[in-house]
Amino acid sequence: MEVPKDKQDFARWVACCVDAKHFYAFFYEPSARDMVIIEIARECPQLDRLIGEHRCREFFKNSSKQEQDQVTKVFLLHL
């Protein structure tokens, strides 16, 4: 997330999982490298597509060898 393209790719990935109109923002803190907080509208009907485990090799066609085994886990937090 230190490179602007990485932030853009992440935002595009989220927008592909849910309708972009329900995707408000994401927050990344370099000191918590393995965590990103995303803000999605409560009325988003595609939340079930986002929640759960996602394997990078299934989402990124040109993933590097290192990325092939990476997994993203998305949890729901109601505030």
Taking the model in full, what pTM does it have? 0.70
Q: What angle do CA 45, 46, 47 make, to 5 degrees?
A: 100
Indicate the pLDDT class of residue 25, thresholds 50, 70 and 90: very high
Categorize the per-residue pLDDT at 24 as very low, low, confident or very high, splitting at 50, 70 and 90.
very high
The C-alpha atoms of residue 7 and residue 13 are separated, in whole angstroms, by 10
32-61 tens-digit pLDDT: 878 888 899 989 998 888 888 888 777 777
Phi, psi angle pair for 18, to nearest 5°:
-125, 160
Q: How confident is the model at residue 69 (pLDDT cuts 50, 70, 90)?
A: confident
